[in-house]
Amino acid sequence: MALRRILKDGDETLRKVSRPVETIDARTLQLLDDMADTMYDAHGIGLAAPQVGVLKRIFVVDAGDGSGLFEFINPFFLRKEGAQVGQEGCLSIPGRYGEVERPAVVEIQAQDRYGQTFTLQGEGLMAVVLSHEYDHLEGILFKDKARGPLVEG
Ligand code: GNR
Ligand code: NI
């Protein structure tokens, strides 16, 4: 179990575009393990590699709906449908929340840690988190898309 430090808003690394993973090697697997540990330790439901200072197209999600941990390498959306608006937070913007419009349903394709391609359809909170994490890979934070000011909580 190894925890990594989560970068906070203001760190320019969060604003960079992450690079595709070309080879899934031992360091990639260690990163995935550390990201899951770090996400659970912080009570988050997702974590993207740039949040721990690694500009690779990787994120992990456990939406807490009982479906468990998903690991995404080189993810991209096959489909985005509809819209929903909900309150979001971010481990890189602690204690601040805002309303963001997201797709109601997404279908995402990615590679798993074994290099196998998989697709996943998400709706509700899962669609929100997948969209939020993908944005991190593009250097986008939820506050960029928030309707109105963030609130403290
Ligand atoms: O833990 C998190 N909760 C959350 C709640 C609503 C919408 C998105 C999220 S993602 C966030 C973890 C995080 O910052 N991932 O990048
Ligand atoms: Ni976030």
Q: How far, in Å, from the CA of 141 to the mean position of ligand 2?
A: 7
Helix (H) or strand (E) holding 143: helix 142-145
What pLDDT is recorded for position 25? 98
Any idea which ligand is nearest the CA of 133? 1
Q: Is 133 a catalytic residue?
A: yes
Rg (CA), the chain: 14
State residue 130 phi and psi, 5-degree precision. -60, -40
d(CA 84, CA 81): 10
DSSP character for 16? Answer: S
Q: How far, in Å, from the CA of 58 to the mean position of ligand 2?
A: 13
To test the pocket of ligand 1, the residue of 5, 129, 147 to mutate (highest count of ligand atoms within 8 Å of its CB) is 129
* Dihedral sign computed on CA atoms, order 62, 126, 18, 139: negative
Q: Which atom of ligand 1 is nearest to the CA of 92?
A: 14
Looking at the domain covering 12-152, what would its CATH class be? alpha beta
| Count of all residues that appear for the chain in the document | 153
Listed in sequence order, the residues at least 6 apart from 78 whose beta carbon sits closer than 8 Å to its beta carbon are 107, 108, 109, 119
What pLDDT is recorded for position 46? 98
Helix (H) or strand (E) holding 78: strand 70-81
Token pair listed for 80: 């985005």
Q: Give me the tens of pLDDT residue by residue for the chain, a chain 153 residues long.
A: 999 999 999 999 999 999 999 999 999 999 999 999 999 999 999 999 999 999 999 999 999 999 999 999 999 999 999 999 999 999 999 999 999 999 999 999 999 999 999 999 999 999 999 999 999 999 999 999 999 999 998
d(CA 10, CA 20): 24
Say which of 101, 133, 138, 152 is annotated catalytic. 133
Residue nearest to atom 13 of ligand 1 (CA): 90
d(CA 89, CA 91): 7
Residues lining ligand 1, CB < 6 A?
Answer: 44-48, 51, 88-92, 128-129, 132-133, 136
What pLDDT is recorded for position 54? 99
What pLDDT is recorded for position 83? 98
